[in-house]
Structure 1
Amino acid sequence: MFESVKNRRTIRKYQQKDIAPDLLNDLLETSFRASTTGGMQLYSVIVTRDEEMKAKLSPAHFNQPMVKGAPVVLTFCADFRRFSLWCEQRNALPGYNNLMSFMNATMDTLLVTQTFCTLAEEVGLGICYIGTTTYNPQMIIDTLHLPELVFPITTITVGYPDGMPAQVDRLPLEAAVHEEVYHDYTPEDINRLYAEKESLPENKQFIKENNKETLAQVFTDVRYTKKDNEFMSENLLKVLRQQGFL
């Protein structure tokens, strides 16, 4: 499994080959062994195979082709509804309509999601995280009929890889590991840690295509702008209130 993780790629193109339901269920059931807050299992997974349903989900993900192209789309949701209903039916008063509960459910959900992805790759499947799930949560909530105290956290497309793309870069170990306490970065540290990333031909091309001076400007001015982040933050808070977490 070390080698599988070291050599993993994000897969965006898939063979027109279905994933056997028994295999998918086995992967999901095994991933549910991941750590969970208090043993509560605060997550649900919506499995989408139907082409019409994929088409309905696609706009929420900016019509990225993986959503329609993958045999299976999985929407992993933070879910305090099931546990709250259980409490109510057992004469216990749930108090989980708050931010802390949302955070606990989100952590549970992401632990299960990554466990699933690691297992799926180990058996030869390819996966792609779709980062737009929390950009357009309302569209996903409406499409998947998510009730109060259920919130979409991330979406994974899954299938058998159609080709093997190049592996993307990662920062060196020292960039993210701090011994004992956090050690802030000097300008020299930043230059050293990002030197390889900035030197890659694909990233230099990225700068050129976006008509920018530096790779950092591509992120701040094009990909993840302050304006977009503030707009999506306001929307996220609005939908969290609607779903009963605030």
Structure 2
Amino acid sequence: VLLTFCIDLRRFSKWCKLRKAEPGYNNFEWFVTGAIDTLLVAQTFCVAAEKKGLGICYLGTTTYNPQMIVEALELPELVFPVTTVTVGWPAEQPEQVDRLPLEAIVHEEFYHDYTSQDIDRLYAYKESLSENKQFVLENNKETLAQVFTDVRYTKKHNEAMSENLWKVMKEQGF
């Protein structure tokens, strides 16, 4: 099953208008608030699905091509796709993707900025994996970071996707 989770400020705005109230939810603040709420629902669904033995996978492409989803799902103004999740019975139990250790993402009391030594230590495992070393070789780069910045997620593509995302957000009334 393929599920797309959307911000829906249309329904609430319609309710406001029907009750003689002027809604003000077609702005960036409410887009962010709606996105947070939508992601919380998506994550709650995924936890429940996994608890029942289902496999899930978030698709990062939802925000790369929102206009295609808007068109396919016939989403009206003030409704916007935030994330898409595939759900199904897994045929296998694949290994978990490498992740940074918790100390790389959890901060206590205040943000702890990273020293160069911290960065080296926190990324050492990721950089040592054979598949990541292979990515570096295949892409003729010196470092794994260069694969991310020069090949996978280039500034040029990020800016183009950001422009498109902003354009579609505006077209959807935000």
TM class by shorter chain equals over 0.9
Q: Does 2:18 align with 1:89? A: yes
CA distance in 1, matches of 2:108, 2:3: 37
Matches of 2:78 and 2:55 in 1, distance apart?
A: 30
Alpha-carbon distance in 2 for matches of 1:126, 1:242: 34
Structure 2 residue aligned with 1:102:
31
Q: Give distance in 2, aligned partners of 1:114 and 1:178.
A: 22
Q: 2:106 aligns with which of 144, 152, 177?
A: 177
Deviation track 1:196-234 (CA, whole Å, cap 9, x = no partner) reads 111111211222222221111110011110000000111
1:195 corresponds to: 124
Deviations 1:126-170 (A, max 9, x none): 011010001111111011100000010010011100112111111
Equivalent of 1:166, from 81, 92, 95? 95
Q: How many residues align?
A: 174
Alignment-derived partner of residue 64 in structure 2: 135
Quote the residue 2:169 is aligned against.
240
1:43-76 deviations in Å (ceiling 9; x for gaps): xxxxxxxxxxxxxxxxxxxxxxxxxxxxx11010
Equivalent position of 1:7 in the other structure: none
Q: TM-score, normalised by structure 1?
A: 0.69
Q: What SS does the corresponding residue of 1:204 show, helix, strand or coil?
A: helix
* RMSD over equivalenced CA pairs, Å: 0.9
Amino acid at match of 1:226: K
1:179 Cα deviation from its structure 2 partner? 2.1
CA distance, structure 2, for counterparts of residue 181 and residue 75 of structure 1:
35
Scaled by the length of structure 2, the TM-score of the pair is 0.97
Gaps of 5+ in 2: none
Superimposed CA distance per residue, residues 95-141 of structure 1 (whole angstroms, 9 cap, x where no aligned partner): 11111111110000000000101110110100110100011111110
Offset of residue 172 of structure 1: 1.3
CA distance, structure 1, for counterparts of residue 70 and residue 162 of structure 2: 17
* Residue 157 (structure 2) pairs with residue 225 (structure 1): no
State the alpha-carbon separation in 2 of the partners of residues 104 and 191 from structure 1.
35
Q: Which digits, 9 at most, give the CA deviation of each residue in 1:16-59, with x for residues without a partner?
A: xxxxxxxxxxxxxxxxxxxxxxxxxxxxxxxxxxxxxxxxxxxx
In the TM superposition, 1:150-161 aligns within 5 A as 150-161=79-90
SS in 2 for 1:132: helix
Which SS does the other structure have where 1:121 is aligned? helix
Structure 1: unaligned runs, 5 residues or longer:
1-71
- Residues in 1 aligned to 2:106 and 2:4: alpha-carbon distance in whole angstroms: 31
Point out 4+ residue stretches in structure 1 off by more than 3 angstroms. none
Q: Secondary structure at the match of 1:85?
A: helix
Query: Aligned partners of 1:101 and 1:205: how far apart in 2?
Result: 43
